[in-house]
C-alpha cells in the first residue's frame, strides 16, 4: 500500500480517489499519468510529488533519483497525451445510450449504424448519425454532423469543455475534426480494428505533432455498440442475392 510518508496525507487521499492505493496500481497507471491525473482532478502537485510517484514506481528512495531521471520525467510530462478524469460511469452509460439510439436510427435508414452525441456540462448540445448514403457525402459521418450542429448551437466551431460520445472508434477524418474542435473528451464504444484512429490503427489524439487537447476513453457499452454493427452487416449480407453457379 502507498503510505505517508513519503506522500502527504492530502496527496494520498487524492490518489485513493483516483483508485490508486497500492504500488502495483501506481505502476499500472504510471508515475507521469498519475501526476497528470492529480492535476486534472483540480490539484496543483509540485515537482516533488512527481519525484515521489516515480520513486514509488521504481521502488527506491526519492534521493536516489538522478538529475537525468528528473529531466526525463519532466519531458515525459510535457510530451504525454492529454489526460482527463473519466466521466462518471452512470453518466457515460446514459449518454452512450443516446448515441446508440442514433446508431439504430442510422441502421433503420440503411446507413452504417454509428451515432454521436455532443455534451457540455451535462447538457446535450447535439445528436447525429451517419447519413453518407442519403447525402451522397463521405463527410456525413455521425461525428462531423454532431460537431457541426453543436457549433451552430454554441456559435463557435471550438467546442472547448465538450464531450463527444460515439458508438464506434472514430476514423482519421473524424479524429482530426474532433482534435480541431478542441473537445475535452472523446468517449467511444466499440473499437474499429480496420480504421480506428484512437489507438486501433493509429492514435492521432496522442500524436505530439498535432495540437493535443482531447483525452480519449474507449469501451463504454462496447458490446452493445458492437452488436448494433454486427446485426446491421449480418442483415445486409443475408439480403444480397446469391450468385448463380456458372
Q: CA 154 to CA 93: how far, in whole Å?
A: 24
What Rg do the C-alpha atoms of the chain give, in angstroms?
21
- CA pseudo-torsion sign 144, 146, 151, 157: negative
Residues with a known catalytic role: 143
Q: Is the dihedral of CA 172, 176, 178, 179 positive or negative?
A: positive
Q: Using CA atoms, how far apart are residues 190 and 200, in angstroms rounded to an integer? A: 11
For residue 102, give the C-alpha cell.
442514433
Phi and psi at residue 192, in whole multiples of 5°?
-120, 95
For residues 127 and 98, is the Cβ–Cβ distance under 8 A? yes
User: At residue 189, what are phi and psi to the nearest 5 degrees?
Assistant: -90, -85
Q: In Å, how far are 44, 236, 239, 241 from 244, measured between CA atoms?
A: 69, 19, 15, 9
The label of the residue with cell 497500492 reads 22
DSSP secondary structure string, 53-68? Answer: HHHHHHTS-GGG--HH
Annotated binding residues for Zn(2+)? 141, 171, 174
Q: Quote the CA–CA distance of 143 and 88 in Å, as a whole number.
A: 22
Amino acid at each position: 500500500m502507498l503510505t505517508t510518508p513519503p506522500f502527504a496525507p492530502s496527496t494520498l487521499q487524492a490518489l485513493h480517489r483516483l483508485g490508486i492505493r497500492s504500488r502495483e496500481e501506481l505502476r499500472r497507471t504510471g508515475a507521469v499519468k498519475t501526476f497528470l491525473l492529480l492535476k486534472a482532478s483540480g490539484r496543483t502537485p509540485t515537482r516533488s510529488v512527481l519525484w515521489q510517484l516515480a520513486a514509488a514506481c521504481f521502488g527506491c528512495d526519492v534521493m536516489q533519483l538522478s538529475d537525468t531521471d528528473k529531466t526525463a520525467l519532466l519531458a515525459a510530462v510535457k510530451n504525454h497525451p492529454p489526460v482527463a478524469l473519466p466521466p462518471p460511469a452512470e453518466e457515460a452509460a446514459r449518454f452512450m445510450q443516446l448515441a446508440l439510439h442514433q446508431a439504430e436510427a442510422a441502421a433503420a435508414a440503411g446507413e452504417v449504424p454509428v451515432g454521436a452525441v455532443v455534451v457540455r456540462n451535462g447538457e446535450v448540445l447535439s445528436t447525429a448519425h451517419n447519413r453518407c448514403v442519403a447525402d451522397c457525402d463521405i463527410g456525413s459521418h455521425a461525428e462531423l454532423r454532431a460537431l457541426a450542429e453543436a457549433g451552430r448551437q454554441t456559435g463557435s466551431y471550438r467546442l472547448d469543455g465538450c464531450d463527444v460520445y460515439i458508438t464506434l472508434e472514430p476514423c482519421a477524418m473524424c479524429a482530426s475534426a474532433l482534435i480541431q474542435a478542441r473537445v475535452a473528451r472523446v468517449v467511444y464504444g466499440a473499437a474499429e480494428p480496420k480504421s480506428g484512429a484512437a489507438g486501433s490503427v493509429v492514435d492521432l489524439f496522442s500524436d505530439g505533432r498535432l495540437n493535443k487537447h482531447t483525452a480519449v476513453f474507449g469501451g463504454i457499452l462496447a458490446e452493445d455498440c458492437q452488436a448494433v454493427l454486427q446485426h446491421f452487416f449480418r442483415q445486409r449480407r443475408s439480403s444480397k442475392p446469391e450468385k448463380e453457379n456458372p
